[in-house]
Amino acid sequence: MRWENLTVESGGHGRTADPALFGADAVTTRTFDTPEFRGITFHEIRARSIINRVPGASRMPFEWTVNPYRGCTHACVYCFARKTHSYLDLDTGLGFDSQIVVKVNAPDLLRRQLASPRWQGEHIAMGTNVDCYQRAEGRYRLMPGILTALRDRANPFSILTKGTLILRDLDLLTQAAEVTDVGISVSVGFTDTELWRTVEPGTPAPERRLDVVRTLGEHGIGCGVLMAPVIPFLGDHPAQLRATVRAIARAGATSVTPLVLHLRPGAREWFMAWLGQHHPHLVRRYERLYAEGAYAPKWYQRRITRQVHELASEYGIGPARAGMARRIRPEETRPDAPSTPSMTEPVQLSLI
């Protein structure tokens, strides 16, 4: 791999190198002996830029992103970002789950770039490539500095996460929401415990994620749920959809946006191998459903979207501005508060 010129710097836990890799000045690789991080290698880098422009051809509904990490210990089998690890000549399977790149200078760099006269204060999306509140954040604590920089410049931003660690930064989120648009979305595609354990093995349980939605709402920060991915034949039974939407509603989500599993190269191979191991009888059905490419057929997507919208209407979820957060009034958080049965439109986000 392109990191092979790493040289030992200190002890058994730190090594440095000078790779010509995504603008990094140097790399230190590190491991920790705690059970939480056993088997995980962190590649600490000093990035040269932290605000990234989304390529024009992208279908993403935002233009600027900040991603302090690459790779994700949440280890979701279907994760679309696996492919991006191959750009570093890192393995897109277990390597994606266990070789984590950490941009340790992200907060300082962001503060500098936000202060540049060339920066126009546009919306910045986080959690769009990998989860910025994955377990590594508990040790590296990059997000408090990032949120502080955004708050101080009143720069609008949004976060998509599966990480309950976001609640650690509740005060900063609240402060930021006082001065700018702050959008928080939590990803919960299903509430089936067995499915969660096998397909999202490194993530907090769906119920804990919904606790995040609830807690944010109790603190006046509206939180939407990206119901993603809805996994064909494993998480799409009407009873499963109902249980999930009902739980999302009970958590007080301001919106629910369903998104059917997509399988791009990089994720597809890993997911299909997992499927063959855990649900071999479904392999042929998947090959047929995804015969045209990365996306399930439109009829299937429309069916799921309609079902979720009907359930959301039944359970009274919404309304919210798509992708953008806002402070909500306390009365809006009451489970019995009247609500309009409208939601964000179904989207073709490339994130989960």
Q: Least distance in Å: CB of 93 to ligand SF4?
A: 12
Residue 72 is a binding residue for ligand SF4 (CB under 6 A): yes
> What's the rounded Cα separation, in Å, for the pair 275 and 290?
14
Q: Least distance in Å: CB of 41 to ligand SF4?
A: 16
Q: Quick one: 164 or 313, whose CB is closer to ligand SF4?
A: 164
Residue 131 is a binding residue for ligand SF4 (CB under 6 A): yes
Q: Quick one: 50 or 75, whose CB is closer to ligand SF4?
A: 75
Q: Are 71 and 97 in contact (CB under 8 A)?
A: yes
Residues 164-223 that bind ligand SF4 (CB under 6 A): 203
> What's the rounded Cα separation, in Å, for the pair 255 and 324?
11
Residues 76-105 that bind ligand SF4 (CB under 6 A): 76, 79, 81
Q: What type of residue is 227?
A: M
Residue 228 is a binding residue for ligand SF4 (CB under 6 A): no
Give the one residue of 30, 162, 219, 309 binding ligand SF4; rule: CB under 6 A: 162
Burial of 1 (0-12, 13-18, 19+ CB in 10 A): exposed
Q: Quick one: 254 or 350, whose CB is closer to ligand SF4?
A: 350
Burial of 175 (0-12, 13-18, 19+ CB in 10 A): middle
Q: Quick one: 71 or 252, whose CB is closer to ligand SF4?
A: 71
Give the one residue of 40, 66, 75, 241 binding ligand SF4; rule: CB under 6 A: 75
> What's the rounded Cα separation, in Å, for the pair 53 and 56?
8
Quote the tokens at residue 232: 């064909």
Q: Are 348 and 293 in contact (CB under 8 A)?
A: no
Q: In terms of Cα–Cα distance, which of 206, 74, 198 is closest to 135?
A: 74
Q: Least distance in Å: CB of 11 to ligand SF4?
A: 29
Q: Least distance in Å: CB of 37 to ligand SF4?
A: 16
* Residues 316/320/323/324 CA torsion (nearest 10 deg): -150
Q: Quick one: 71 or 145, whose CB is closer to ligand SF4?
A: 71
Interface contacts to ligand SF4, rule CB under 6 A? 72, 74-76, 79, 81, 130-131, 134, 162, 203, 352
